[in-house]
Structure 1
Amino acid sequence: MQRRALLSLATLSPLAAQAQPRWSPDAPVRLIVPFAPGGSQDVLGRLLAQAAGPILGQTVVVENRAGAGGVLGAEAVARAAPDGLTVLLATAGQLTIAKAIGRRLPYDPIADFAPILHLSDSPVALLAAPQLAVADAQGLLRMAREAAQPLPYASTGIGTNTHLIMEDLKARERLNVEHVPYRGAAAAFNDLAAGRIATMFVSVPSVLAATGGQFKVLAVTSRERFPATPDIPTLIEAGVKDFEASIWTGLSAPRNTPAPIVARLAEAFRAAMETELVRARLGGLGVTPNGGDGAAFAATLREDLERWTRVAAPLDIKLD
């Protein structure tokens, strides 16, 4: 009888677990956006907050914590209580790239966060100056390999995505290019249009927002052609085998956030990404939905950190 009773309890336990109510926030959820208002990441965060609130049954409040390349916002989440009420709109700038380039961080970007969801991806675009005598990415790569003097390339700052992606391409394709860092894309665009800069990588949203013939758009870094720019080939099509690079966005919570809370947040924000409110704006923001769960997002973080650490190692980047 005792054995039968134990078997009965074991049989019923999954049902009992299923009968437990799902976690629901008992106060507004703070979505920390580690950037100033107005940019594409901030717009995405606000759309997700608006869509996820009704799903969670609580208001989701966007809190902009700009500064130090997003580190201040990430630190606020790392130090928050692991109760599901504070989450980070995470990008590589605060997590993988920050550590890869040797920044002194007030948190461990892997150990101090619980990955919730890989929200979206956006490739970057390879641009060339309008005066440059190239018609496509193959032509630019050939010119850069054969150049007697280094071709100057711009980035949006030392240690940024656009810097490291070009350095990765440079190493793989043995390009003779030289880095010229800028503080943001606007000044770089001006010099590219004037021919003082030969080439650069830039985010797809910046390309979508540009007007006129101030530069040539030669390729994107997604595996397949990007839906918002279907006429632009990929670097893989240009012959650079398996070359992909994404400006990804994810959702993270403080470490030790209980698994049921992580699961519920993932479910709610994944559903938010599928709402018409959000989907209607994704193309204009230059992003595509991903939807990878916490385990998949954690794997992306590890792979990203390994890649950018390898790329940054010979560059001797000093920021702090």
Structure 2
Amino acid sequence: MPIPRRLLLGAALAAPALARAQAPWAPDRPVRLVVPFAPGGSQDVLGRLFAQAVSQSVGQNLVVENRAGAGGIIGAQEVARAAPDGHTLLLATAGQLTIAKAIGRRLPYDPIADFAPVIHLSDSPVALLAAPNLPASDIPSLLAFARRAPEPLPYASTGTGTNTHLIMEDLKARERLNVEHVPYRGAAAAFNDLMAGRIALMFVSVPSVLGFAGGQLRVLGVTSRERFPATPDVPTLIEGGVRDFEASIWTGVAAPAATPAPVVERWRREFAAALEGGLVKPRLEGLGATANGSGPAEFATLLRDDLARWTRVAAPLNISLD
């Protein structure tokens, strides 16, 4: 029995609409990738690498927008308030999405409820450094010395409430170390005092260690689960006897909350492909990072776990930055 002409005509008219409905979402104008740090740092370099790689594959420019200030809170606020249409993304770190809340900062957004996790891009461990005059040659001897030190050993951080502060406080609590905090504004001045023996210890990002020109830093351990490729001779703290002690400066991508799932999935695919591509992959080690690539569900779990960990560590410290 022949199909009525009106049904054929209706099917023909519906076909373009059905094709549009089934087509994957794609941005229809340039996309902002908000980097909540000033230009020139390792996170900015990483963001620009990904922006270049993803722009090539998605067919729209990802424009890096540096919105530094307040430890990254200004940039995160910009994204939290943006339309959830896939055209504004955040290059996210713990500083904005977990640590800020953990240390009690007054935030203009909820770091969990106001963002849609897209992908966990990379991890950069931190390195434990010791002063040249410290009588410890490895992690076990350092821990033993720091436990029995008659006076608190001064340790540096790159600022109160930063990763390097909280990671040391976590180690202090776990291993009952007699150390006290001396905050610095960045790593350079702390390196000088460490080399002179005015401070005893510090955690610092691996990119800072790799970029130190002197080559005289005593690196006792790193906080990754496995040895870090760029420093293969440096053991992990886990190898040194600190059970399950792992910490990283992670980087991910987040979108405004209520961004539709197909939009989140398109960005996950694009950034995952860039992570394995020839532009980004060869540069990661030099930036002190390793690829991760976990998707929205795993990234959301990381955010919750990270927030719980640093809230526990920060609770007895009575940090006040506002």
TM-score normalised over the length of structure 1: 0.94
Give the aligned partner of residue 185 of structure 2.
Answer: 183
Aligned equivalents of 2:121, 2:320: Cα separation in 1? 31
1:113-128 pair list within 5 angstroms: 113-128=115-130
- Of 59, 64, 67, which residue of structure 1 is paired with 2:66? 64
One-letter amino acid matched to 2:176: R
Partner of 1:123, secondary structure, is: strand
Please tell me whether residue 139 in structure 1 is matched to residue 152 in structure 2.
no
Q: Per the alignment, in what secondary structure is the counterpart of residue 48 of structure 2?
A: helix
Give yes or no for contact 1:192–1:214 (8 Å, CA) kept in 2: no
Q: What is aligned with 2:101?
A: 99
Deviations 1:255-312 (A, max 9, x none): 0000000000000011011111111110100000100000000000000000000000
Alignment correspondent of 2:284: 282
Runs of 4+ in 1 over 3 A off after TM superposition: 16-19
* From 76, 84, 87, the counterpart of 2:86: 84
Distance 2:132 2:65 in 1: 40
Task: Return the offset for 1:140.
Answer: 1.1
Provide the secondary structure at the position in 2 that maps to 1:295: helix
* Secondary structure of the structure 2 residue equivalent to 1:233: coil
| Alignment-mate amino acid for residue 92 of structure 2 | A
In 1, the alpha carbon distance for the partners of 2:20 and 2:177 equals 57
Answer yes or no: is the 8 Å Cα contact 1:123–1:245 preserved in 2.
Answer: yes
1:85-104 Cα deviation digits (max 9, x unpaired) = 00000000001000000000
Residue 189 of structure 2 aligns to a residue whose secondary structure is helix
Give the Cα separation in 2 of the matches to 1:188 and 1:166: 15
Partner of residue 305 from structure 1, selected from 283, 287, 307: 307
Q: CA deviation at 1:73?
A: 0.2
Aligned to 1:23: 25
User: Paired residue for 1:169?
Assistant: 171
Shift of 1:139: 1.3
CA distance in 1 between partners of 2:282 and 2:244 (Å): 30
Q: CA deviation at 1:249?
A: 0.2
- 1:54 deviation in Å? 1.6
Q: CA deviation at 1:318?
A: 0.5
Kindly provide the amino acid, as one letter, of the partner of residue 247 in structure 1: I
- Structure 1 residues 264 and 213: CA distance shift in structure 2, 3 A: closer
Determine if contact 1:136/1:218 at 8 Å carries over to the other structure.
Answer: yes
Q: Per-residue deviation at 1:57?
A: 1.2
Q: Secondary structure at the match of 1:305?
A: helix
Amino acid at match of 1:192: L
Answer whether contact 1:220 1:226 (CA < 8 A) is retained: yes
How many Å apart are 1:130 and its aligned residue? 1.2
Match of residue 49, structure 2, among 47, 56, 60: 47
1:236 counterpart letter in structure 2: I
Corresponding residue number in structure 1 for 2:157 = 155
Among residues 234, 239, 242, which one is paired with 2:241 in the alignment? 239
Q: CA deviation at 1:138?
A: 1.2
What RMSD, in angstroms, separates the aligned Cα atoms of the two structures? Answer: 1.2
* Contact 1:129 1:214 (8 Å CA) reproduced: no
The answer for unaligned runs of 5 or more in structure 2 is: 1-17
- Is the partner of 1:102 in helix, strand or coil? coil
Structure 1 contact 193–215 (Cα < 8 Å) conserved: yes
Letter in 1 for 2:56: P
Deviations 1:102-161 (CA, angstroms, capped at 9, x unpaired): 000000000000000000001000000112121111111111001010000000000000
CA shift, 1:215, in A, is 2.4
Share of identical aligned residues, percent? 75
> Per the alignment, in what secondary structure is the counterpart of residue 96 of structure 2?
coil
State the Cα deviation string for residues 223-269 of structure 1 (Å, max 9, x = none): 00011111100000000000000100010000000000000000001
Q: Report the count of equivalent residues.
A: 305
Q: Equivalents in 1 of 2:245, 2:133: separation in Å? A: 26
User: Residue 9 of structure 1 corresponds to which residue in structure 2?
Assistant: none
Q: How far off its partner does 1:211 sit?
A: 2.6
**Matches of 1:90 and 1:203, distance apart in 2:** 17
